[in-house]
């Protein structure tokens, strides 16, 4: 199992979700966590309620985490308001970092740009796409075509001169809203991938990821 993180917007942090305050990130505490309930979210602030009195140092940067349907979001923030009303502690946090989504994945994923084509299963029209990243489990790509979630597509694409996808079945499992672009972004998972071919993709992804990391050093 591979862990990965990606930066996301504050729209993922929603009222009603549980937020954990990591106490070991506060000097006055030796460890543990406090659970709170998110009551309001603004452009760069998150308001929570805690059913017990606790003193959170003002302006000290604290690690926070939010869980929603298996996804974990982590970020750092500082308390800018801490008041008690009817035995309920109400705290307002101001973000001090970006929000990152932490997830488990079965396969390593790597940034990879390549041009390919796909067809809707059972149809003849061919559409172009460009990848953003890839793993042995699937890929993320951009296209100016529209595809329904759940749709089966047939992919053709070269990874290098010795490796590529030929008439590979995949299913659209994710669509990203691209409001400021004419392109559509999709996530697709491969179907019926031959085990030996899957191993070749794993090796390709691992080798490419090493190249990507070295280029960023």
CA–CA gap between residue 159 and residue 112 (Å, rounded) = 9
* 3-state class percentages of the chain: helix first, strand second, coil last, to nearest 5: 15, 55, 30
Higher pLDDT, 1 or 32: 32
Residue 104's pLDDT is 65
pLDDT for 36-46, tens place per residue? Answer: 999 999 989 99
Specify the long-range contacts of residues 161-167, CB closer than 8 Å, at least 24 apart: 163/200, 163/201, 163/204, 165/116
Inform me whether the pLDDT recorded for 2 exceeds 60: no
CA–CA gap between residue 147 and residue 153 (Å, rounded) = 9
CA–CA gap between residue 110 and residue 56 (Å, rounded) = 39
Domain boundaries, the chain: 2-105, 109-216
pLDDT for 100-156, tens place per residue? Answer: 887 666 678 889 999 999 999 999 999 999 999 999 999 999 999 999 999 999 999
Residue 82's pLDDT is 87
| Within this chain, domains 2-105 and 109-216 share the same CATH topology | no
CATH 2.40.10.220 fits 109-216, yes or no: yes
* Residue of 116, 191, 122 lying closest to 156 (CA atoms): 116
Inform me whether the pLDDT recorded for 68 exceeds 90: no
- pLDDT mean across residues, the chain: 87
Lowest average pLDDT, out of 1-10, 66-75, 153-162, goes to 1-10
Residue 25's pLDDT is 63
Residue 40's pLDDT is 94
Fold of 2-105: Pnp Oxidase; Chain A (2.30.110)
Residue 30's pLDDT is 57
């Amino acid at each position: 199992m591979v862990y990965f993180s990606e930066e996301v917007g504050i729209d993922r942090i929603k009222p009603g979700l549980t937020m954990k305050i990591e106490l070991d990130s506060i000097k006055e505490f030796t460890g543990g966590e406090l659970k709170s309930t998110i009551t309001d979210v603004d452009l760069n602030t998150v308001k929570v309620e805690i059913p017990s009195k606790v003193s959170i140092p003002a302006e000290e940067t604290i690690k926070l985490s939010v869980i929603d349907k298996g996804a974990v979001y982590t970020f750092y923030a500082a308390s800018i308001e801490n008041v008690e009303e009817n035995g309920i502690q109400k705290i307002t946090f101001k973000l001090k970092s970006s929000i990152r989504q932490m997830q488990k994945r079965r396969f390593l994923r790597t940034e990879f740009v390549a041009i390919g084509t796909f067809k809707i299963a059972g149809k003849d029209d061919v559409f172009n796409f460009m990848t953003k990243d890839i793993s042995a489990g699937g890929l993320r790509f951009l296209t100016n075509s529209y595809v329904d979630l759940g749709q089966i597509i047939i992919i053709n694409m070269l990874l290098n001169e010795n490796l590529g996808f030929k008439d590979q079945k995949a299913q659209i499992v994710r669509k990203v809203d691209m409001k400021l672009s004419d392109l559509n972004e999709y996530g697709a998972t491969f179907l019926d991938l031959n085990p030996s071919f899957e191993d070749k993709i794993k090796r390709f992804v691992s080798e490419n990821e090493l190249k990507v990391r070295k280029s960023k050093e």
